[in-house]
Structure 1
Amino acid sequence: MSTYFNKVKDYLLNLEYNIVQEDLAEELFVVENPEGGIANLVVDCEDPILIIEGLLFEISGDKDDIFKSLLMKNREIVHGAFTLDETGTKVLFRDTLQLENLDQNELEATLNSLELLLSEYSEEIISFSKL
């Protein structure tokens, strides 16, 4: 186990995130913050980086307009970005941070960015998920 795992865990608890799953062997957490609209967010210590990733929605219909809208919105996201899984059908939020000099403010900024994205862009995300 790296020294970063416990540090990240402490930060998540200080930020009042619920740890719904913890995998010591893989050095990852699944967290939620219902008040911020966050559920099943994976926080993975992959030395030298911390990966924060969560599924937002799946798409099956016409993708061109959705992709264009997501790419345009990426420009406005403070931390992190929309990404696709390897199948191109799952839209994820993803951010990476350096573990070596990670502080609580950096992690909080990423989590706040996701919460802001979900609150400001929720109608679009819901409509995309129905296509």
Structure 2
Amino acid sequence: MDIKEKIESFMIDMDIGFQEIDEDTWRIEDDLSQMDNIIVKISEPVIVFRVKVMSIPEENKECFYRKLLELNASDLLHGAYAIEGNNVVIVDTLQAENLDMNEFQATIESIGLALVEHYDVLCKA
């Protein structure tokens, strides 16, 4: 089984909705599990996970950036918060060569949990 087939089988086994964007990229669209708009992309030798969290606020940026760094250090199990243009994103990578269902699922669930738990905290920062 190639890496593309493996990733698709993981998402099917996890019973999450997804859409193929191109040959090596998918968008997870699963509103019920709070895992909406997560992009999964094969970029050998890694699999990249990315989701836009929010736009960077116009005010109190220093406090906001500090909160992002604190959440990176303490609460984000997989991946990290990053800045992409004017947006805050969560990004993570896994090795494609030895990708297994447990790490794939843990990454997706960790990102989903961070979106649920951190969004309000970041909006108030």
Normalising by structure 2, what TM-score? 0.89
| Cα displacement string for residues 83-116 of structure 1 (whole angstroms, at most 9, x for unaligned residues) | 111x2x2100110000000001001111111122
Return structure 1 stretches of 4+ with deviation > 4 angstroms.
none
Change (3 A) 1:60 1:78: closer
Letter in 2 for 1:22: I
Unaligned runs of 5+ in 2: none
Aligned positions, number: 123
* Higher mean C-alpha displacement, 58-67 vs 73-82: 58-67
* Higher mean C-alpha displacement, 118-127 vs 54-63: 118-127
CA distance in 1, matches of 2:107, 2:81: 13
* Higher mean C-alpha displacement, 38-47 vs 118-127: 118-127
* CA shift for structure 1 position 60: 4.0
Q: Is the 8 A contact 1:42 1:53 kept in 2?
A: yes
1:123 to 111, 120, 124: 120
- Establish whether residue 19 from structure 1 lines up as the match of residue 25 from structure 2: no
- Establish whether residue 110 from structure 1 lines up as the match of residue 104 from structure 2: no
Letter in 1 for 2:100: D
* CA shift for structure 1 position 13: 1.2
RMSD, aligned α-carbons: 1.7
* Higher mean C-alpha displacement, 102-111 vs 55-64: 55-64
What is the percent sequence identity of the aligned residues? 25
Determine the structure 1 residue equivalent to 2:34.
Answer: 37
Q: Is the 8 A contact 1:56 1:125 kept in 2?
A: no
| Cα displacement string for residues 37-89 of structure 1 (whole angstroms, at most 9, x for unaligned residues) | 2221110001100000010101241321111000000112111111111x2x2
1:71-86 equivalence runs, <5 A: 71-75=69-73, 76-85=75-84
Normalising by structure 1, what TM-score? 0.85
CA distance in 2, matches of 1:39, 1:23: 18
